[in-house]
Structure 1
Amino acid sequence: MIQTRTRQETLKPENLKQENLKVIARLLQERLHLELPQRLPVRIQCALHHGQLLVLAEHRPGVRAQVGETFEALTQAIAALIPDLAEDLKLYLRVAGHERPYAFEALRSTSGKPAAETTPDEDTSLHSPGEDPLADRSDESEDEESAIALAVSAFPPNPFDELALDPQDAEQIAVRPQQKRARKPAPPWLVPLSASIVTALVAGGSAFYALSRPCAIGRCELIDRAEQLSQGSAAELQAVEYKHQLLDIHEKLDKATTMLERIPSWSGASDRAATLIRSNRVQLDGITEVVAALDRGLATAESAKNPPHSVEIWQDVAAGWDEAIAQLEAVSPDSPVYPFAREKLQEYRQNRTAIDRRIDNERQAQAQLQSAQSAGQVIKARQGVAQTTGSWERIIASWDEAIAQLERIPDGTTAVRQARQLIAAYQTEATRARDRLYEEQLAQNAYDRAVLEVDRAEGFQQQNQWTLAVEAWTNASTYLEQIPLGTYPYAKAAKLGKTVKPALAEAREILDRAIARQDADAALKKTCSGSVEVCAYSVSDRVLRVQLQPDYLSEVRKTATTADRTGNPKVRADLTEHVQTLQNALETISDNTQIPLELYDPYGALLGRHTPR
C-alpha cells in the first residue's frame, strides 16, 4: 500500500470516480508545484482504466525535465493524497502537444516499488516534435508498449497545445535517465489511545463514587454544596429586582436547608450544618415578608386600574398601600433582602403620595381643559392670515403647546375623555399647518440642492469627469422639477431650468464620445494582445490609429514562408483566416465606436483605412 508523508489533505479510494478526477489532478498539481523547481511548471491529468489510476504530467517544450525527480515527487504527492489506494497506478511524462509520453513508470500499490520503468536513454534525451524516445527503443517490452498505448488513448493531445508549439522548441527537450528509488515507509500516524481512555474512565468513575458518599469519609461535599447555595442566594438577594427572583432564591434556600437536614447528628459536619440552617431560615423569613408585601402592593395597584375613580375608591387604594408599606418596614436590617425591601418601600411610598394627589388632580384637570380650549380659538384666528414660513412655524408651535397642555391632564380624571377629543382635533389642525410648512420647505430644499448640483456639474466639467458631470446636471434638473407651482422658490427654479437643460444635453454628448473612446481602448487592448504582441494603438475622437508590431508581422511571414516551402495548404489557409479575423475585429471596433480606423505597418506606412458603418 502506498505510504503517505503528510496528513494535510487525503482522499478515500472510493472517491476515485470519473467526476472527481479533475479535483484530484488539481490537488496533485498544486502539491507538485511546491516540490519541483519553479522553472518546470507541469500540468497534471488523471484518468481511470478498469479502476486503475493513470496520471500524466505534461510540461512545455524547451525545458529540462528531471524524470526521476519528477516521478519521485509525483509518487509522494499521490501517496499523500490517496493513502489507501488499492490498485496499481501508472505515471507518465509527456511534452505538451505530443501524443506519446517519453517516460513511464508503473507502481504496485501493495509495496510502492516500481513494477516497470521506461526512461529515455542518455543519448536520446533530445528529440524533435515528431520523435518519440520510447518509440525508438528496440528493447521496449510489450507491457511497456501497452502502457504507452493506454496513455495515448486516455490522454489525447490538446490541439491548442499543438498550435502553440514552435517546431524548434521540441529540440531543446533534455531529460536524464530515471534512477531507481527506494520507498521510505511513512511513520505511523495513529497513537494507541485505548489504555489512556480506560485509565480516564476508571479515574472518573472513582471520583464519582467518592462524591456520592459526601459525609461518610473525608470531606463533606454535601455541606459544601449547601453552603455554596446559601452564599450564592445571599449574593443574589443583594441584586434582586423582581418577585420571581425572590421565589427562585427562596426555592434554592429551601433546597439547601433540606440538604443540610440530611446530615446525621453523628457526622463531624453536623454543627456547621446547624449554623447554616439557622442562617437560611432568617433569609427565608425575610423573603416571605417581602413577597407578602409585593402581593399586597400588586393587589392594590390592580384596584387602582382603569381610572377615573371616586374619592372613596382612591381612599381604599391608599389603605392598601399603607398595609404593604407596613410589611416592608417590618423586614430586619440584618436580612440580605433588606436593600430590596427598602427600594420597594420607597416605591410604595411614592405610590401612596400619588394617591393623595389624585383628588387635587380631579380639581385641576377641569381648569387645564378650559385653558386649552381658549388657546385653540386664538390659534385658528392666526392661522387664517399666515403666509410666511416663520408664521407657519409659530402656528405649529402653538398647536403643539395646546396639545401638550391637554396631554398633561392626567389619566384617572373625569376631564380626560373631553381632553382626548380636543387633542384629536388639534392634531388635525397641526397636521395641516405642517403640510403647508413642509411644502414650502421641500420647495426651498429642492431649489438649494439644484443650485448645489449645478456647481458640482460645472466643477466636474472642468476636470473632464463627464460621467459625474452628467449625473450632477441630471440631479439638478430632477430637483427643479420637484418644486411645486405656487411655492415661493418656483419662479427662481423656472429661471434656473433654462440653463440646466441645454448644459445637460451638451454634457451627455461629450460623455458618449468619452465612452466610445473607452470602449475602443478596451477592445483594441484585447485584440492586440497575445503571446506575441499583435499591434500598438492610440485612440482619439477623430481616429483609431493601429500599428502592427514587427515581431507579429515577422511571425506571420515566417509561418507563410514555412507553409509555402512545405506545401502545407492548411497552414496557409489558417494564416489567411487569422489575418482576416484580425481585420474584421478592427473594423468591428471602428463600427461599434463610430470612430474611423487607420492601420499602419511597423514602419509607419499606411496600410488602409476604414470608415464606420
Structure 2
Amino acid sequence: MKVAIQQEDLKLLAKTLQEQVLAEVPSGEVFQIKCAVKKNELMILTQHPVGVSVDTERIFVVLSEALQSSQTYRKHKVQCFIRIFGEQLPYARCSLIMKQKEEIRRAIPLSSSLTYTPSIIDNEPEELFALLVDTPELWATQSQSPIKSLLIGITLLGICVFGSGFYLLTRPCVMSECQEIQTAQKLNLESRQLMRRANSENRLIAIQQQLEIASTNLLIIPRWSSRYQQAQELKASLSMQSDKINQVVTALQTATVAEKKMQTTVNSLGQLQDIQHSWRQAIAPLEAIGANNELYGLVQPRLVKYRLSLQTVNQQLLAQEQWLKKLNDAKAVAIVAQQRQTSAKSLNEWEKAQSTWQIVINTLNLIPQTSPASQEAQELLLEYQPQLAKTRDRATTEKIAARSYQKAISTANQAQSYEQQNQWPIAVTYWEQALKNAQQTSSDSLYYNQSQSLIEPYSIALQQAQAKLQTMNGLQKVRYDLDQTCSREIRICTFTINNTGIAVSLTPQYEELLQTTLTEADLQTTNHWHILQEALGVIGDHVNLPVFIYDTQGQGIYTHIPQG
C-alpha cells in the first residue's frame, strides 16, 4: 500500500516538474520528465528528442527551484539526469541536497563541451546511473558490495563520457563537412537571380519552397557546432527572401480571387465592396516593391492591371451607390405621394398625387436589372403601381366630373341667352345638354353633390322651354294657316299674333269688294266673308287665342273667343 502511494506521489511530482519546465524553459514542450526513489534518493530523468538545443544549467535550476516548494522531497538527496530519447546513457547529471531552502549542487558533465558549476559533494554512488538504463535492476532493492558498485560506476562513467563525446562530435556540421550550409549558401546567392527570372506565381512558389527546405535543413546544426552562428545568419537571410516571395504570392493569390469574384454576377453592394477590399489587399503590398527589388519586373505589369480592375470596381460601386440613392429617393417621394393621396380633396390635389406617384414609378423604372438595387426596385414597383393607377383613375374621374359640372353651367347660361332671343328650339337643345351634363357627374366625385343641385332647376327650365317651343311651333302653323287664308286672287287680310290674340286687318281691296257685293247683293262674296270668319275662328281655337278682325279704319268688325 505504501509503495502504491509513493508511486502516485512520484507521478504527481513528475507532472509538476513537467509543467514548471514547460513554463520556464524555451521549447519546454519537447521535454519529458520521470521520477523514481531508490535508497531514499530521488532520481529525476529529463529526456528530449535529438536536435533540440538544451540549456542544461537552466533545466537543473528550474528543477531545483521546483523541488524547494515540495514538502515531501525537500530533505531527500536528489540526482538529476538529462538524456536524448533512444539513448541508453545521459549526457549530463546534477546532484542536489535540499536543506532548509539552501541548495548544495554538484554538476557532473559527461562531455568536455559542457561546463557546470563545481560541486562540494563527492563520492556519490555510481549505481544511481542504473536509473537511466532500461534494465530489470533499475528498481532492485538488494544491495551490492561497495567494490562492485565502485567498479560498475567507473565503467559506466567511462562509457557515458565516451558515448556523449562521440555523440556530440558526430552531430551534423560539428566535425564533418557541412552540406546543409553549402546548399543554403548557394541558394542564398542564387535566390535573387531566380526571383528576377520568375515570370509566374507558380515559379515563385517553387523558389519559396526551395528556400524553406534549405532553412529547415539548417535546424539540425547543433549549438556546439562552430558553424552554428553561420547557419543562423543563413537561416535569417533565407527566411527574409522567403518572406518577400510570400508577400508577393499572397498578393497575387488575392488578386486571382478578386478576378474570379468579378466574373460572377454581383447581386449586392456588399459583394462589390468585398471585391474592392480584395483588390486593395492585393495592390497595397505590391506598391511597396520598389524598382530595386528583385520582384519588380514580375509585379509591375500586374500592378498596372490590378489598378485598372480596382478602378473599374470603384466606378461600379459609384454607379451602384447612385442607383441605391435613386431607390432611396423613390421611397421618400412615395411617402409624400401616399400623404397627398390620403388628404386629396380636390381635382388639383388628386392630380398632384398622381404626378407624384408617376415620379416614383419613373425613377424605379430607371434602375437597371444589373444593379443590386434592381430586386428591391421591382418589388416596390409591384407595390406602387396599383397606387398610381388608383390615383390616376380618381384624378380622371374628378376631371370628367369637373368638366361635366362646368359644361352643365355654361350650357345652361347659353340656353337662357337663347330664351331671351325667343330662339326656343336652340334654348331647348341647350337645356337638354345642360341637364344631361349634370346627370352624368360620377357619384364618387367631389362635384357630385353640386351637380345634383342643378338637376331640378334645369329640368323645370327645360320643361318651360319645351312649352314655349311648342307654343312657338303652333304659332308658326297659325301663321302659315293665316297666310294661306288671307292669300287668294287678291290679298284679303294681314295679321299679327301676340300673347293676347290674333289681330286680322282686312285689306282695302277686300273691303271694297265686300261693300260692292253688299250693294249688288252678290251672294258668293257674302259666303266668302262668312267662310273667312269661320276659318279664322278655327285657327284661333287651335292656339287658344281670340281672333279680332278689323276693317281698314281699325274698327273691330268681328271677334271670336275660343271655346273652353
Would the TM-score normalized by the shorter structure come out above 0.5? no
Q: Higher helix proportion, which one?
A: 2
TM-score using structure 2 length: 0.35
Greater RCO (CA < 8 Å, at least 6 residues apart): 1
